[in-house]
Chains A and B, each alone.
Chain A
């Protein structure tokens, strides 16, 4: 670590926000340092997106195996080794983390193992893991320190044994005998879906009237039905009053139901998935003008904080807590710093959301409710998986693709999908929204047959009463 070097950009945190910003920064010729206290790649790579998708893939394969007879195949047993399932996910994480290391080296980004902290205006003190500190005057600092799972003080605190957060949830020593998942957002739903499919009795509780409250209402409803059919117990409008670890192997939850009654339920394990809070502590932010609100750093559309020369990107700035949002914010931030031509602020309506449970859920833009609230007169198209050739051939007949258009201009306001592989399909609609396509462009696009993607076409046709296959 060279204390004499003044970097053009110092980035704190190497998650999808930080490492992407670092690489772009180097591409644009800025001298860049990236400070990381743990593994490269941040939560996403190591304890989030990547390992969970590896785990969920194992669950998907198991589902197919359990259904093998339908396809004329037979397996003598459907055993599984939870340790190997987890091991594979850890290996995936490690492999990608090494990949990030390679990319940073290739782009000549100085990676500093340690933590950064503002000591006063214009001064950043970096202490590395060997307790050496260097002080840097900076030109630009980007805070990309990410976020962590929220706990519920006085109600439920993780204890590492029976009350889990995401970290323990993805590295269990053995399968729980029963599981309570608290929080019906994407993270809770994914864990619930994973464990359910390995035979764990799962109860999912959510304080809002429906699970996946940020998705379109119809999608929440369809997801709930499918989860119920798979054997998941779902309680909505239910609030956790208290979670007590009775022993290492038992937790009791006091839950207030929608009708106001309280019930005590006991489980082997519980997972807290009640939200995210930014990592804003220990940065010395009180020595700067950086403002935080509810545990997140306040920024403008160019990711600037209230302190000149200091920026913040990704989960630490607030919702949506998505890796691709962090990456794009990183790019926008760096390109503005580098005076790159033609940078536009992030359009929140064009950020897709994906949930990798079974069924998968993917969406972009406004929900039906949001579109109506905003005063739009809308056209809605729906197309079910059951009417799609490929879906039937695959043996995946459940799901739906819903599109919402501005009646007046034909603008695609939102697209909402539930079913097999939809997380891989949603990009088609995000491209359409980025290019400001209207329904005419989508109607004239030729989708290949036979694919699930054809449903995206038919959904648009349905919105204009022109669908052929339904």
Chain B
């Protein structure tokens, strides 16, 4: 187990101190009793001794760090045989940020179980500070040594090679360092891409099933789906809002419209598309993407609709859905779905790549409700369940109504609870009062 070196209390009244200088350097062998570093307070300067044998794996607070609180972790000692990779995990737990009154006030403001944004943004800035502290391998290094292969692998993976510690000769960054970094990292959300695991990595024997099996090579589409959705689930802070919509009125309108003209066959989903588009028009802050340094607000409302095809899933887009009539939407969605399902698929990339909002409908399978995974770089996805007859309360009495459960998955970095809730309220308003969509 790696051992944390803590800032000691040099006197009963000491609360914090400065690191004057480290006597031992990273990588040095440590024996019990060795002097590790000099600590200074306004009263005195003293040296601290090691109480374990090992190697000084990491210096957390380098020379000159001031106001380090007592009991903060200032360094990590690896015992014999331990690997440097243990240091990363330790760091994540060990960093202690100085107390901040504003922080604790903000903690109290929690609404409806959704984390408060003020506190969260404080944490985010603290986190990025930690990352940059961890990232600087050595001070004043002009040149990063790395092998050609390591450089290429890093660039393919969108990894910043300057943040990697090298294990090769003279601290050179080599292939294994990149492989380790890829294994440990969470994916940079800007990239929207993650490295597929290196070949030759096999499943731990203890996790293998003993049942007989047949192995079929993953298709390209399956690979893409796996990659994108894994990134989405792992990097986007999802939260979910559920709302039930009474669709009695909607079903009547639908029947009416469809009976007038055999040209159109408007489905329930087409109404959902239209209603979402109009709701987004009213709440443009929901038609956006997280770009880390910026939030991108889209000027057009392009709705991706999830279509199941043979080996997977594709999301053709209805562009400018707020500006199209319901009839047009119905025609387009039907055509796009047919072309998506054709073999070979006749959709062009620009017809399914992009979009600003997604809708997934599993109602035709009888699914009551479900939560979908956001398609990055979008910020929301609406999951529609089956419209079914359910007991409802109407004018204080039990009645029967057709109800459709809708679940909105939201990227909390872009859209907060209240905003998302308002969006759903507006959406529900359109669904339950379809004539308002004419306005």
Interface residues of A (CB under 8 A from B): 339, 342, 344, 374-377, 408-411, 435-438, 440-441
B152 close to A (CB within 8 Å): yes
Known: A410-B152, A436-B175, A438-B152. A374 touches B199 (CB 8 A): yes
- Cα A441 to Cα B174 in complex, Å, equals 15
Would you call A435 and B147 a contact (CB within 8 A)?
Answer: yes
**Minimum CB–CB distance for B112 against chain A, Å:** 46
Would you call A435 and B148 a contact (CB within 8 A)?
Answer: yes
B153 close to A (CB within 8 Å): yes
Contact of B156 among A409, A435, A440 (CB under 8 A): A409
B98 close to A (CB within 8 Å): no
Contact of B147 among A344, A375, A377, A436 (CB under 8 A): A436
Contact of B149 among A339, A342, A375, A410 (CB under 8 A): A410
Contacts of B29 in A (CB 8 A): 339
7 example contacts (A-B, Cβ-Cβ < 8 A) are as follows: A344-B167, A374-B199, A376-B199, A376-B200, A409-B152, A411-B149, A435-B147
Known: A411-B175, A438-B148, A438-B152. A342 touches B199 (CB 8 A): no
**Minimum CB–CB distance for A440 against chain B, Å:** 7
Contacts of B175 in A (CB 8 A): 411, 436
Produce 1/0 per residue, B245-289, CB < 8 A to A: 000000000000000000000000000000000000000000000
- Cα A174 to Cα B115 in complex, Å, equals 91
B169 close to A (CB within 8 Å): yes
**Minimum CB–CB distance for A365 against chain B, Å:** 13
- Cα A438 to Cα B147 in complex, Å, equals 9
Would you call B170 and A342 a contact (CB within 8 A)?
Answer: yes
Would you call A436 and B150 a contact (CB within 8 A)?
Answer: yes
Produce 1/0 per residue, B141-180, CB < 8 A to A: 0000001111011001000000000011110001100000
Contacts of B199 in A (CB 8 A): 374-377
**Minimum CB–CB distance for B437 against chain A, Å:** 50
Identify the 3 closest CB pairs spanning chains A and B, nearest first. A375-B199, A436-B147, A436-B149
Max count, chain A CB within 10 A of own CB: residue among B29, B167, B170, B200: B200
Contacts of A344 in B (CB 8 A): 167-169
Produce 1/0 per residue, B224-249, CB < 8 A to A: 00000000000000000000000000
Interface size on B, residues (CB 8 A): 16
Would you call A342 and B169 a contact (CB within 8 A)?
Answer: yes
- Cα A156 to Cα B199 in complex, Å, equals 43
Contacts of A377 in B (CB 8 A): 199
Would you call A409 and B153 a contact (CB within 8 A)?
Answer: yes
Known: A374-B200, A375-B199, A376-B199. A437 touches B169 (CB 8 A): no
Would you call B149 and A437 a contact (CB within 8 A)?
Answer: yes
Contact of A436 among B156, B174, B200 (CB under 8 A): B174
**Minimum CB–CB distance for A451 against chain B, Å:** 24
Across the interface, name the chain A residue whose C-beta is closest to B175: A436
Contacts of A342 in B (CB 8 A): 169-170
Produce 1/0 per residue, B35-77, CB < 8 A to A: 0000000000000000000000000000000000000000000
**Minimum CB–CB distance for B37 against chain A, Å:** 22
**Minimum CB–CB distance for B247 against chain A, Å:** 50
Contacts of A410 in B (CB 8 A): 149, 152
Contacts of A440 in B (CB 8 A): 148
- Cα A411 to Cα B152 in complex, Å, equals 9
Contacts of B150 in A (CB 8 A): 436
Would you call B200 and A375 a contact (CB within 8 A)?
Answer: yes
Known: A376-B199, A409-B156, A411-B175. A436 touches B148 (CB 8 A): yes
- Cα A263 to Cα B27 in complex, Å, equals 65
Contacts of A339 in B (CB 8 A): 29
Interface residues of B (CB under 8 A from A): 29, 147-150, 152-153, 156, 167-170, 174-175, 199-200
Contact of B148 among A374, A375, A408, A441 (CB under 8 A): A441
Contacts of A435 in B (CB 8 A): 147-148
Would you call B170 and A409 a contact (CB within 8 A)?
Answer: no
Contacts of B149 in A (CB 8 A): 409-411, 436-438
- Cα A374 to Cα B197 in complex, Å, equals 13
Across the interface, name the chain A residue whose C-beta is closest to B167: A344
- Cα A235 to Cα B181 in complex, Å, equals 50
**Minimum CB–CB distance for B213 against chain A, Å:** 17
Contacts of A437 in B (CB 8 A): 147-149
- Cα A438 to Cα B148 in complex, Å, equals 6
Contacts of B200 in A (CB 8 A): 374-376
Would you call B156 and A408 a contact (CB within 8 A)?
Answer: yes
Across the interface, name the chain A residue whose C-beta is closest to B146: A436
**Minimum CB–CB distance for B48 against chain A, Å:** 24
A344-B168, A376-B200, A440-B148 known; 20 other A-B pairs, CB under 8 Å?
Answer: A339-B29, A344-B169, A375-B199, A375-B200, A376-B199, A377-B199, A409-B149, A409-B152, A409-B156, A410-B149, A410-B152, A411-B149, A435-B147, A436-B148, A436-B175, A437-B147, A437-B149, A438-B149, A438-B152, A441-B148
- Cα A339 to Cα B28 in complex, Å, equals 11
- Cα A344 to Cα B170 in complex, Å, equals 12
Across the interface, name the chain B residue whose C-beta is closest to A406: B199
**Minimum CB–CB distance for B56 against chain A, Å:** 14
**Minimum CB–CB distance for A378 against chain B, Å:** 10
Contacts of B147 in A (CB 8 A): 435-437
Across the interface, name the chain B residue whose C-beta is closest to A410: B152
Contacts of A408 in B (CB 8 A): 156
- Cα A198 to Cα B29 in complex, Å, equals 60
**Minimum CB–CB distance for B332 against chain A, Å:** 39
**Minimum CB–CB distance for A60 against chain B, Å:** 37
- Cα A436 to Cα B169 in complex, Å, equals 12
Contacts of B169 in A (CB 8 A): 342, 344
Max count, chain A CB within 10 A of own CB: residue among B169, B174, B199: B199
**Minimum CB–CB distance for B152 against chain A, Å:** 6
- Cα A376 to Cα B175 in complex, Å, equals 16
- Cα A353 to Cα B247 in complex, Å, equals 75
**Minimum CB–CB distance for B150 against chain A, Å:** 6
Contacts of A375 in B (CB 8 A): 199-200
Contacts of B152 in A (CB 8 A): 409-410, 438
Across the interface, name the chain A residue whose C-beta is closest to B147: A436
**Minimum CB–CB distance for A332 against chain B, Å:** 14
- Cα A441 to Cα B167 in complex, Å, equals 22
- Cα A438 to Cα B167 in complex, Å, equals 19
- Cα A371 to Cα B231 in complex, Å, equals 28
- Cα A197 to Cα B142 in complex, Å, equals 59
Across the interface, name the chain B residue whose C-beta is closest to A432: B148
Across the interface, name the chain B residue whose C-beta is closest to A342: B169
Across the interface, name the chain A residue whose C-beta is closest to B202: A375
Max count, chain B CB within 10 A of own CB: residue among A342, A374, A411, A436: A436
**Minimum CB–CB distance for B79 against chain A, Å:** 16
- Cα A437 to Cα B149 in complex, Å, equals 6
Across the interface, name the chain A residue whose C-beta is closest to B29: A339
Across the interface, name the chain B residue whose C-beta is closest to A300: B81
- Cα A335 to Cα B150 in complex, Å, equals 26
**Minimum CB–CB distance for A348 against chain B, Å:** 14
**Minimum CB–CB distance for B352 against chain A, Å:** 26
Across the interface, name the chain A residue whose C-beta is closest to B169: A342
- Cα A344 to Cα B147 in complex, Å, equals 15
Across the interface, name the chain A residue whose C-beta is closest to B196: A408
- Cα A435 to Cα B172 in complex, Å, equals 10
**Minimum CB–CB distance for A343 against chain B, Å:** 10
- Cα A5 to Cα B39 in complex, Å, equals 45
- Cα A375 to Cα B174 in complex, Å, equals 21
Contacts of B174 in A (CB 8 A): 436
- Cα A411 to Cα B174 in complex, Å, equals 12
Across the interface, name the chain B residue whose C-beta is closest to A341: B27
**Minimum CB–CB distance for B240 against chain A, Å:** 37
Contacts of A376 in B (CB 8 A): 199-200
Across the interface, name the chain B residue whose C-beta is closest to A412: B149
Across the interface, name the chain A residue whose C-beta is closest to B201: A375
Contacts of A438 in B (CB 8 A): 148-149, 152
